[in-house]
Structure 1
Amino acid sequence: MLRFAAAVVTFALVTLGGAAVTATPAAAAGSPPAGCRYFTTDFGQTCYEWEGDDQWVRDLDANGWTTVVEVETNYGKFRECDAPASADGWRECGYDHEEKKCVRFRLVERKGVSTNRISVWSLFYSTSTGNECGFDA
């Protein structure tokens, strides 16, 4: 299937404290497909692949902290995916989101239970089309 590249959007960072939550299992991966919805900060990057419900994440700052993507749906699910350590490529986490719902994400830097940098939340995107949600996903 032909995929269209999504624009990379850089969001402002907000420095906040936060509580750590256990991470979900993830598989090592090559790189995300062209049709992903990218979300980038100066310390990490994530990509939502709506076809397959995969969330990709990578650490861009080998500073001893791990970049984690937090994934939240509009139907009450919250998940996390840790990037490989030391800015060492992409990790792909497979989810099974409900269709015709919405998902958003943000990046967090963690070391153990400590939190360093936290990004703002992305927009909500449809789990069925990958387009921005108007809550009529």
Structure 2
Amino acid sequence: MRRFIVSLIANAIALWLTTLIVYGGIHLRPYASGAFAWVISLLFIALIFGIVNGIIGTLIRIVAFPLYILTLGLISLIVNAIILLLASWVTSWFGFGLIVDGFWWAVLGALVLAILSAIIGAILKPFARSR
């Protein structure tokens, strides 16, 4: 349970920083105004992103495995962009969430998100261990 919560917080922080870095093409629309609404919206988006990445992302990676070998892993940027677009689409069902303005913004956002997730995950890794 602790690993799940730390992973959710790490994804939420990485998504928030991604919206700040890729300001022109990736936005966050919270469900209400205020800091609490931003935090809850980020946690909700991180949860949806984790579910989409865990279920649909795994299926896409299995199907695209030959392309991973052929492109030496560069296809992962495209796959992660598709997952980011899917997460944006799913969160839009609720009337708030992540807004991605286009495919190339999603590619840039996926690259930034992957780098930030790796850094934040490495920083928060000691907190995910059970004692």
TM norm. shorter chain > 0.5: no
Name the structure with the higher strand share.
Answer: 1
Relative to its length, the structure with more helix (as a share) is 2
Q: Identify the structure with bigger relative contact order (alpha carbons < 8 Å, sequence gap 6+).
A: 2
Larger Rg: 2
Give TM class, smaller chain. under 0.3
